[in-house]
Structure 1
Amino acid sequence: MGLRFSEVCIDAHDTQALAAWWAQVLGWPAEDTDDGDVALRAPAGAGPDWLFLAVPDEKVVKNRIHFDFTPDDQDAEVARMLELGARRVDIGQGDESWVVLADPEGNEFCILVGDE
């Protein structure tokens, strides 16, 4: 098949700030594109690049799609994310093994239980 998953596009009110935050979280380099967007370039084998697109509106509802991350140590990674400015959110998940967080613009993502 001639189809390749190359980018995840993320709407952002402040593309520079949100891309910088995720660049710090993931450890991926950020670069401005010719179109005025910001791209995070995934290292080889780490998945698609992330492209932050400017939108005028704020996020107002729960994401229809989100990212799941599996760390080596869930507690340590949740603590690191919170220190970087993530916040815990309740989307109705109840008492589950994963932790739901939101980035600075409110986009939800999950930190799963790793191979602790």
Structure 2
Amino acid sequence: MVIEMTLANVITVAALFIASLWALVKVISGQQERRLSDRFDELGRSMQTIVKAQENNASATQELERELMKWKADLPLQYVRRDDYIRNQTVIEAKLDAMASMLGTAPKRGNQNHAD
């Protein structure tokens, strides 16, 4: 069996082969473009979700910062340092001791006033 091909047949077969390769490349690149587009769309949706979460975190952080500032402002009103407490307690105890000594000596002075 002998196959004869003329120059026109060879050119036609080569053109068909090149055209089929070209069509295959176009189909593959179209699928790749579609996949890339889908990935970028998903990435965009993910970025929007991240942006929304970031905004929520930012507002929560600001609220937390406000609460911390309130606590810092209220802290001196509600908290007494140990040294201040000890100093105040010492003053109160000294006054009580002085009052006790005055009350302890008061009956003796009273008796002395009645003896005169």
Q: Which has the higher contact order (CA 8 A, sep 6+)?
A: 1
What TM-score, normalized by structure 2, do the two folds share? 0.14
Higher fraction of strand: 1
- Structure with bigger gyration radius: 2
State TM-score, norm by structure 1: 0.14
Larger helix share, 1 or 2: 2
